[in-house]
Amino acid sequence: MIEILDVSLPIISFVLFSLLTIPVVKAIRKAKTRKTLITLVWFATIFITVGITVANLATKYYEQASPQPFLNITLTSEPFTIFSSTFMIDAISIYMAIIFTVVGAIVFFYSMFYVDPSERLSERYYSVMLIITGCIIGAAFAGDLLTLFIFWEASAAGSSFLMLYKKTPESMHATLKYLVMIIIASAFIIYGLSIVYGITGTLNFWTVKNALMALEDKHLLVVAFIFIAVGYAIEAAVVPFHMWLPDAYTAAPASSSAFLSALIDQGSYYVLLRVLIYILTPPTVLGWTLMLAVLSALTMVVGNLLALTEKNVKRLIAYVCIADVGYNLVAITSVTPLGIMGNLYFFLIGGVTTALSFMTVGILNRMGFETLEDFSGVGRKAPLTSLALLLGAFSFAGIPPLAGFIAKYLVFTAAIEANLSWLAVVGVLASVIQAAYLVRLINYMFAKRLEEEAKIREPKKLLIPIFILVAAIIVLGIYPTIVLNLIEHVIQQLPFTP
Amino acid sequence: MQNTLLLTLLMPTLAVPIVYLLGKKSVKAAALLVALIAIADIALLLTTVPVVLDSAPAAEHKYVESYYWIPILGSSFTLFVDGVSLSIAIITLILILTATLFSMNYMHEKKGLAEYYALLTLLFIGLVGVFITSNLMLFYFCWELMLVPAYFIIGGWGYKEPYRAAFKFFIFTHAGAVFVLLGIGAIFMVTGDLDMFQAQTALMSAQPELVKWILLSLTAGFAVKMAIVPVHMWLPDAHSEAPAPMSALLSGVIISAGAYAILRVSLGTVFPAVAVMAIDFGNQFLHGLAVFGVMSAFFGTLIALVENDIKRIIAYSSIAHMGYVLFGLSLFPFQEIMSGTVLHPEVITGTVLHLVNHAVSKGLFFLSAGTIMKQLEIRDIREMGGLAGQMPITAISSMTAALSIAGIPPFACFISEFLIFVGAFQTINNDNFYLLPTALMLIATVLSLAYALRYVSHVFLGSGKLEKAKEAPFFMKLAMVVLMVLVIILGVWPTFFIQLISTVSFV
C-alpha cells in the first residue's frame, strides 16, 4: 500500500538535503585535501538517497496486484479533503519522477565542475538546484490543480536564481523578463483556476474532470480554459509567448541552461500535457485540437526559422528548445496513445539532448568560442567536445540511430493517426530546416580550416557527464525498448478511450 | 549457419572502432581489414544462395532471420534476403571492396585516413543493411546511416568546395527521407506492423485515400535519393566533388538504393493495395513513373553530351541511367501479377539486373576517371587526349565502362537494357501509352552512345601528349581490373543473377 510518506519522501529528502548542502559545502571548502572527492561523495549520497525513495515508490506502485490507474493520497481525512493537498500517483508521474531524478543527477554532476564549489555563494546555487528538482518531482506527483500550481510555480520562479548566478547586466535583464512573464502566467492560471473552482467546487484532477464531462453550459469553462492554457503556454514558451526563452537561456551559465532545458522545460510540457489531456479532456469537453495544432505548427516553424538566422551558438540551441516545444505540442494535440508515448519519450530525449548541447556549448564558450564564426575549426581544436555536440545535433535533426529520431517518429506518426496529416507534413518540413542549420553548425565546426590548429586541453571532468548523455542517446536510439516498456504502462491507463 | 545475416551486419559494426584505432597505427592495415570484412560478408551472403535458389516446389526462395527489437513499435530486427536483395547486396559488397582497395593508393597522401576508413566502415553497415532487411524501421535506420558518413567523406576528402556539395547532398536526401518517414509512420498507423510483407496484406483493408498518399509520399522520398529529374540537383555536385571511391559508391550503390526501395516498398508493399482499391490511380501512377523516367534519361543524356568536366559527365549519365531504371519499374505488370498469369516478370528482372550492371559499370567508370584525375591533376576533358598509350589499363577499363554504359554488347548493361525494352514492347500491346516513352527511351540510348564515344575519344584517343601521364599504382589497377572483368562476365554470362532475381515473385 502506498502511504503519503512514500510519495512525499523524494520531495522531502530533496528539500532537506538542499538545506544541508549549504553548511556542508561551506565545511568542505575549509577542508585541506580531496575537496572534489568529498563534494562528489556528498552529492552522490543525495541522489542515491532520492533515487532509492523514488525506486521504492515505483516498486510499491507496480507491486499492486493490478496497478491502479491512479492513486489519490490526501493529507487529511474525509470532510476536509477539498482544502487539502492531494497527491496522485500513476504511471506517468512515476516515469517523470524517474527521469527527473536521473537526468537531474547527471546535470548536477556537470554543474559541480562547471560552477566551482570553492567559489563564494556557489553553495546557494547547488541548494537552489536541489530544491527545484524536488519541486518538479512534487509537481509530477500533484493530484489537484492547486498543488500542481504551487509546486510548479515554485520551480519555475525559483529557477530565476539559477539564471542570475553570474550577476552580469544581460542576465539581470533576462531574468527580469523571465520573472515578469512567469508572474503574468501565474496570474492567468490563478484566475482560470478560480473559475474552474467556481464551476466544479473542487480542484482535484479526477473530480474536476468528471464534473466537466457532465457540464452543460460551457461558456465559463471556455474562459477558464483560455486563461489556464495561455498561462501554461507562456511557461512552456509556445510561440507567440516565447520571447523570454532565448534571452534567459543565453544569459544563464551553461550548467543552468542545461538544467533549465532538461528539467524545467520538460516539466512545463508535462504540466501542459497533464492539464490539457487529463483535466480538460478534449474531444468530450472542449474542442481545442485545431487551436493547439495551429500553435504547434507556428512554434515549430518560427522556432526553427529563428534558429536559422541566429549567429550565436548558445542562442541557437535555445531556439532548438522552442522548436522542441512545437514537436511536443504536436503530440499533445493528437491525443492518441501513440502521441502520449511520443511525448513521454520526448520528455526524456529532448531534455537529454538539449542538456548535452548546452553542456558542450558551455565548455566551448569558456574557451572563447561564441558565434558560428568562432566555431570554425573547433572540430579539430577540441575533438571530443565537438563530437558530443555533433551527435547532439544529429539527434535533434532526427537522424537514426540516435534517440531523437524515435521521438520525432512517434510524434509525427501520432499526428497522422489523429487525422492531422498537414501538421505532420509541416513538422517534417520544419525538421528539414532544423537539419539545415544544424548541419551548417557542423560545417563550421569541421569544414573550415584554420591556420593554427593547436589542440586545446579539454576539461576531462566536464566531459564525463556529457559522454554519459551521449551514450544515453545512442543506446536509446538503437534500443528504445528499455524506455518504451516503462511508457507502455502509461498507455494502458489513459483517461480516454482511443 | 543460423546467424549468417546478423553476422553480416555485426562484423562491420564491431569493426568501426577497430578500424579507427588500427588506422592511427597503420592506414594500410585498416584498409585491408575493411577489404577483408567485405570479402567475408560476400562469402556469408553466398552461403544463403542455395536457400534462395531452392528448387523444391514449396520453396519460399528467401532466407529470413528475426530478432527481438522494439515490439511496441511493431518492429523486430528482421534480416532477410531474396533474389533481388541478395544480388544487389553482393554487388554492393564488391563495390565496397574495390573502393577500399582503390582508396589504398588513391587516398594515401591525404590526412586523417583513420577517420576515413572508420567512416567507410560505417557507410558499409548502412549500405548493406538497407538491402538485407524487411523491417521498415530498420530499413530507415540503414537508409539514414548512409547519409552521415557519406556527408563527412564527401566533405572531408573532396575537391574544391566539398562541404558545400556535401551540405546539398545531406539536405536534399534528408528532405526526401522525411517523406519516407511519414509514409512509414502512416503504414505503422494503419497496420501496426512494420514488416514489408506483413504490411502488404494489412494495407489492403486501409482507406484508399490514405494508401494513395502513402504511395506518393514514399515514392517521392525514394526518388530524391535516386536523383530523378526534378529532384536531381544534389547529384552532379556530390558525385563530382567526392573522392573517386566515394563517387563510385554514391553512383553505384546509394542511388540504386532509391530504385531498390521503390521496387521493394512502393511497388512491393503499398502498390498491391492501390491496385486492388483504385486501379485507375495505379495506372496513372505507373504512367507518371514512366514520364519521370524518360525525363531523367533525356535530361541526363543531353547534359552529359555537352559537359566538359570528366566526373560531371559520368554523374549526369547516372541520372540518365536511373531514368532507365525508373522506366523499367513503371512497366511493373501488376495486372498479370495479381491475376497470377505472370509470377516472375521479365521486365522487373531486367530492371534489377540493370541496377546490378549499372552499379558495376558506373563504379568502374568513376574509378578510372578518378585515376585520370589523380595522375594528371586536371578535370577538363578538352585538355586531355592520347592517354591510351600512356595508361593502357586505365584506358581499357574506361572504355569497357563507357561502352557498357552506352549499352553495347557484349558488355554488362546491354543485356539488361535489352530486357527492359523487350518488356516495354510487350507492355505496348496492352497499354499504348507506353508507345511514345519507349520510342524516346530508344533515342536516349542512341544519344548515350554519343557521349560515351565523345568521352573516350577526347580522353584516350587523339594525338595529345601529356607529360605527367603514367599508369596507375598497383591497388588502383587491381580494383579496376576486378570490376572490368566483372563487367565483361556479366555481359556474356548474366545467368547467375538472372536466376537469382527471377526467383522473386511480388505478391
Instruction: Read off the DSSP letter of residue A159.
Output: T
Q: What tens digit of pLDDT does each residue of A404-458 get?
A: 999 999 999 999 988 888 999 999 999 999 999 999 999 989 877 666 667 788 8
Nearest to A143 by CA among A67, A74, A189: A74
User: What is the rounded average pLDDT of the residues B172-183?
Assistant: 93
Placement of cell 513521454 in the chain: A344
Asked if residue A145 has pLDDT above 90, the reply is: no
Structure confidence at residue A76 (pLDDT): 61
Structure confidence at residue A286 (pLDDT): 74
Q: What tens digit of pLDDT does each residue of B198-246 get?
A: 888 888 888 888 999 999 999 999 999 999 988 999 999 999 899 999 9
Q: In sequence order, what are the beta bridge partners of B66?
A: B78
Q: What tens digit of pLDDT does each residue of B95-130 get?
A: 999 999 999 999 888 888 899 999 999 999 999 999
Q: A281 falls in which pLDDT band (50, 70, 90)?
A: low
The reply to whether residue B174 touches residue A409, judged by beta carbons under 8 angstroms, is no
Facing residue for A484 by CB, picked from B72, B152, B188: B72
What is the share, in percent, of chain B residues with pLDDT greater than 90?
66
The reply to whether residue B71 touches residue A439, judged by beta carbons under 8 angstroms, is no
Q: What tens digit of pLDDT does each residue of A35-65 get?
A: 888 888 999 999 999 999 999 988 888 887 6
Burial class (CB in 10 A: 0-12, 13-18, 19+), A121: exposed
In A306-425, DSSP assigns E strands to none
**Higher pLDDT, residue A143 or B424:** B424
CB-CB contact of A265 with A351 (8 Å): yes
Chain A residues lying within 8 Å of B189, measured CB to CB:
338, 413, 416-417
Size of chain A in residues? 498
Cα–Cα distance measured from residue B89 to residue B5, given in angstroms and rounded to the nearest whole number: 11
Asked if residue B21 has pLDDT above 90, the reply is: yes
User: What is the rounded average pLDDT of the residues B255-264?
Assistant: 94
Size of chain B in residues? 507
Q: What tens digit of pLDDT does each residue of A457-490 get?
A: 888 888 999 999 999 999 999 999 999 988 888 8
DSSP, collapsed to helix, strand or coil, labels residue A380 as: helix
Q: What tens digit of pLDDT does each residue of A345-378 get?
A: 999 999 999 999 999 999 999 888 889 888 888 8
Q: A66 falls in which pLDDT band (50, 70, 90)?
A: low
The reply to whether residue A439 touches residue B171, judged by beta carbons under 8 angstroms, is yes
The reply to whether residue B156 touches residue A446, judged by beta carbons under 8 angstroms, is yes
Structure confidence at residue B465 (pLDDT): 66
Q: B289 falls in which pLDDT band (50, 70, 90)?
A: very high
Cα–Cα distance measured from residue B479 to residue B472, given in angstroms and rounded to the nearest whole number: 11
Tell me, yes or no, if B140 comes closer than 8 A to chain A by beta carbon.
yes
Tell me, yes or no, if B71 comes closer than 8 A to chain A by beta carbon.
yes
ipTM for the assembly: 0.91
Asked if residue A131 has pLDDT above 90, the reply is: yes
CA distance to A243, A404, A415, B126, per residue, from A177 (Å): 9, 31, 34, 47
Q: How many CB pairs under 8 A join A and B?
A: 82
Chain B residues lying within 8 Å of A440, measured CB to CB:
167
Facing residue for B141 by CB, picked from A400, A481, A488: A400
Question: pTM of the full predicted structure?
Answer: 0.93
**Higher pLDDT, residue B60 or A467:** A467
Nearest to B198 by CA among B331, B80, B322: B80
Mean pLDDT computed over every residue of chain A: 87
The reply to whether residue A432 touches residue B151, judged by beta carbons under 8 angstroms, is no
Chain B residues lying within 8 Å of A304, measured CB to CB:
none
Residue type, A130: L
Cα–Cα distance measured from residue B391 to residue B402, given in angstroms and rounded to the nearest whole number: 16
Residue type, A46: I
Facing residue for B140 by CB, picked from A400, A432, A480: A400
The reply to whether residue B145 touches residue A431, judged by beta carbons under 8 angstroms, is no
Asked if residue A83 has pLDDT above 70, the reply is: no
The phi, psi pair for A68, rounded to 5°, reads: -60, 150
Tell me, yes or no, if B112 comes closer than 8 A to chain A by beta carbon.
no
Tell me, yes or no, if B145 comes closer than 8 A to chain A by beta carbon.
yes
CA distance B17 to chain A (A): 15
- The span from the first CA to the last CA of chain A, in angstroms, equals 30
CB-CB contact of A70 with A88 (8 Å): yes
Facing residue for A413 by CB, picked from B71, B147, B189: B189
The reply to whether residue A409 touches residue B181, judged by beta carbons under 8 angstroms, is yes
What is the share, in percent, of chain A residues with pLDDT greater than 90?
50
Mean pLDDT computed over every residue of chain B: 90
User: What is the rounded average pLDDT of the residues A128-133?
Assistant: 93
H-only helix segments in B158-195: 162-191
Asked if residue A498 has pLDDT above 60, the reply is: no
The reply to whether residue A399 touches residue B174, judged by beta carbons under 8 angstroms, is yes
The phi, psi pair for A357, rounded to 5°, reads: -70, -45
Cα–Cα distance measured from residue B399 to residue B250, given in angstroms and rounded to the nearest whole number: 21
The reply to whether residue A400 touches residue B144, judged by beta carbons under 8 angstroms, is yes
H-only helix segments in B262-411: 271-277, 279-306, 310-330, 334-339, 346-376, 387-390, 392-406
CB-CB contact of B345 with B336 (8 Å): yes
**Cα nearest neighbour of A443 on chain B:** B163
Q: What tens digit of pLDDT does each residue of B324-360 get?
A: 999 999 998 888 877 877 777 888 999 999 999 999 9
Q: What tens digit of pLDDT does each residue of B360-413 get?
A: 999 999 999 999 988 888 888 888 888 888 888 999 999 999 999 998 888 999
Structure confidence at residue A435 (pLDDT): 94
The full set of domain ranges for chain B reads 4-501
Structure confidence at residue A61 (pLDDT): 85
Nearest to B156 by CA among B168, B165, B146: B165
Tell me, yes or no, if B152 comes closer than 8 A to chain A by beta carbon.
yes
Q: A317 falls in which pLDDT band (50, 70, 90)?
A: very high
Tell me, yes or no, if B370 comes closer than 8 A to chain A by beta carbon.
no
CB-CB contact of B334 with B282 (8 Å): yes
CA distance B16 to chain A (A): 15
Most A CBs within 10 Å, among B138, B163, B234, to test the A interface: B163
Asked if residue A392 has pLDDT above 50, the reply is: yes
Structure confidence at residue A266 (pLDDT): 92
CA distance A376 to chain B (A): 13
